[in-house]
């Protein structure tokens, strides 16, 4: 298959636990250990590869070793943009380090077709005392560019970084923003067939991040293969076609980026057991900060056909929520609100008594109930987390994050049988051709 750019086959990497312990230690300890190993046969060296078949989570590795990566196999086609997600310690960095040849695997192999460029950080090798101009050449060479190549792209790099005026100033006098811009600009002009990127977009201000993202998308459009590790699920969904989820050193999921982020999020909420019944007990909710007074008691969700049994609602349907509270002392200033977050953690909709012009405030005590009605909830299909909050005297005294999950399902909202596949909400609209 000639259109496969990266082939990873049963890739494994074993680390000795306590490598960290040996980092800066002295010869003395090692001599002692070596002397001991002379007397103890079969001291904890790596087992022969024949014994090392199918290492898995169920088969613990020999004492003192840990598999940072276990039998990971996948293929990336030429021109594909692949996002790799996973929790800390899932093996993302180890995978990137092997692919960029910084460390060597313990088992398996990788085959890559084309020039490989890797960016595990921007500004690798920048020297504080050197000027911007000097650092462009140094950093370019470190990233694997030839001098003639840097000469050719020099002006472009300076333009992209917007530092023309400070070209001959040592970079230690740069603001952090300028430094990062310059560093990214050099990296962005690397032209490998396969680009391996780690989180480098988490730098700079929002406008610059946008510029970087655009650059990365261009790289993809030019038919280059990109392997991208990120914590930002929205970015992965946005720029990657394919997604891989790593879990505990193994490949847990391989599919489209949308499926991968969904899979990852489901994994995160395991153990939280988001309630899908229509009545949610809030008294012992896990999403409540310790500092809150637990005044919120119960949340009930309704659709146009009564209680929401499965937590699912069609696009644009009627939505009602009842928030039950119990006030321990009389109070006159009472407010409540609901917030809807998508699974990427973005707030998509907030409703609050504060927004209602004729909201009456009168003294209340004991059990009370807020009723919130939304005539048409026009969020796009997907899963949403509902936050419920209670304010007394303008202070948020109690709130529960992710109190309930609401699933919006596709419906014939526009009457055309078509629903939007992106965006956040749907709205009534009118088109004309004149």
Partner 1 sequence: MARSIEVHPDTDIPVLRIEPSRGWISLRLRDLWTYRELLYFLVWRDVKVRYKQTLIGAAWAVLQPLLTMIMFTVIFGHLSKIPSEGLPYPLFSYSALLAWTYFSAAMNRSGNSLLGDAHLIERIYFPRLIIPLCGVVAPLVDFFFGLLALVGMMFWYGIMPTWSILTLPLFLLLALLTALAVGLWLSPLNVRYRDIGYAIPFLVQIWMYASPVVYPVTLVPERWRLLYSLNPMVGIIEGFRWALLGKEITAIGMIGVSTITVLMLLWGGATFFKRMERTFADVV
Binding site for partner 1 (CB under 8 A): 2, 15, 19, 22-27, 30, 97-116, 118, 120-121, 124-125, 127, 129-130, 134, 137-138, 141-144, 146-147, 193
- The CB-of-143 to partner 1 minimum distance in angstroms stands at 7
Please give the full DSSP string across 244-265, using - where no structure is assigned: EEEETTEEEEEEEHHHHHHHHH
- In angstroms, what is the minimal distance from the CB of 27 to partner 1? 4
Integer Cα distance of 391 and 293 in angstroms = 11
Measured from the CB atom, the residue of 26 and 42 that comes closer to partner 1 is 26
Q: Please, which residue, 107 or 132, has the CB nearer to partner 1?
A: 107
CA–CA gap between residue 200 and residue 120 (Å, rounded): 7
Contact 59, 249 (CB under 8 A): no
* Spatial contact of 351 and 372, defined as CB atoms under 8 Å apart: yes
CA pair distance 402, 397, nearest whole angstrom: 17
The kind and range of the H/E element at 243 are: strand 242-247
Closest CA to 150 of 136, 160, 164: 136
Report, in Å, the least distance between residue 247 CB and partner 1: 22
CA distance 87 to 268: 9
Between 79 and 420, CB nearer to partner 1: 79
Task: In whole angstroms, give the CA distance from residue 403 to residue 331.
Answer: 25
Shortest Å, Cβ 102 to partner 1: 5
Determine the Cα–Cα distance for residues 259 and 261; give it in Å rounded to an integer: 6
Nearer residue to partner 1 within complex by CB, 154 or 425? 154
Nearest distance from C-beta of residue 232 to partner 1, angstroms:
21
* Nearest distance from C-beta of residue 155 to partner 1, angstroms: 20
Q: What H or E segment, with its residue span, contains residue 9?
A: strand 4-16
| Closer residue to partner 1, CB minimum distance, 114 or 345 | 114
Q: Which is nearer to partner 1, 47 or 382 (CB)?
A: 47
Token pair, residue 52, equals 């090392």
Is the separation of the CB atoms in 343 and 268 below 8 Å?
A: no
State how far the Cα of 274 lies from the Cα of 7, in Å rounded to an integer.
38
Distance CA 225, CA 78 (A): 5
Rank residues 142 and 365 by Cβ distance to partner 1 and give the closer one.
142
> Taking the complex as a whole, how short is the minimal distance between the CB of residue 109 and partner 1, in angstroms?
4
Shortest distance (Å) from residue 150 CB to partner 1: 9
Which one, 112 or 285, has the nearer CB to partner 1?
112
CB within 8 Å of 74: residues ≥ 6 apart: 8, 244, 251, 254
């Amino acid at each position: 298959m000639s259109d496969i750019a990266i082939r990873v086959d049963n890739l494994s990497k074993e680390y000795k636990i306590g490598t960290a312990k040996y980092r800066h230690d002295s010869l003395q300890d090692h001599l002692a250990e070596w002397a001991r190993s002379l007397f103890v046969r079969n001291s904890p060296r790596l087992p022969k590869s024949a014994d090392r078949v199918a290492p898995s989570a169920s088969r613990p590795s020999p004492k003192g070793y840990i598999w940072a990566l276990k039998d990971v196999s996948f293929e990336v086609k030429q021109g594909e943009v692949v996002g790799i997600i996973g929790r800390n310690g899932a093996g993302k960095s180890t995978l990137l380090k092997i692919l960029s040849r910084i460390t060597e695997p313990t088992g398996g192999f990788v085959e890559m077709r084309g020039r490989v460029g890797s960016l595990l950080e921007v500004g690798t090798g920048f020297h504080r005392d050197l000027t911007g101009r000097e650092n462009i050449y140094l950093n370019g060479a470190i990233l694997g560019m030839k001098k003639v190549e840097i000469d050719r792209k020099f002006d472009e790099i300076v333009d992209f970084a917007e530092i023309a005026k400070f070209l001959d100033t040592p970079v230690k006098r740069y603001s952090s923003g300028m430094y990062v811009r310059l560093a990214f600009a050099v990296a962005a002009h690397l032209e490998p067939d396969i680009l391996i990127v780690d989180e480098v977009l988490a730098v700079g201000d929002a406008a610059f991040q946008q510029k970087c993202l655009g650059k990365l998308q261009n790289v993809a459009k030019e038919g280059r293969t990109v392997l991208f590790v990120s914590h930002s699920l929205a970015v992965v969904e946005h720029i990657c076609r394919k997604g891989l989820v790593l879990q505990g050193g193994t490949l847990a999921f391989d599919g489209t980026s949308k499926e991968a982020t969904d899979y990852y999020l489901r994994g995160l909420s395991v153990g939280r057991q988001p309630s899908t019944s229509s009545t949610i007990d809030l008294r012992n909710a896990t999403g409540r900060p310790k500092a809150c007074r637990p005044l919120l008691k119960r949340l009930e969700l309704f659709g146009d056909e009564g209680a929401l049994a499965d937590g699912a609602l069609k696009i644009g349907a009627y939505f009602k929520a009842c928030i039950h509270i119990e006030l321990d002392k009389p109070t006159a200033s009472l407010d409540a609100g609901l917030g809807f977050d998508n699974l990427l953690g973005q707030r998509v909709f907030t409703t609050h008594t504060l927004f209602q012009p004729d909201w009456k405030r009168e003294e209340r005590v004991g059990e009370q109930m807020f009723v919130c009605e939304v005539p048409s909830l026009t969020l796009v299909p997907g899963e949403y987390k509902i936050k419920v909050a209670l304010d007394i005297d303008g202070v948020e005294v109690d709130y529960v994050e992710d109190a309930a999950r609401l699933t919006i399902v596709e419906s014939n909202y526009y009457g055309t049988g078509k629903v939007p596949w992106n965006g956040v909400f749907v709205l009534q609209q009118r088109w004309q051709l004149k």
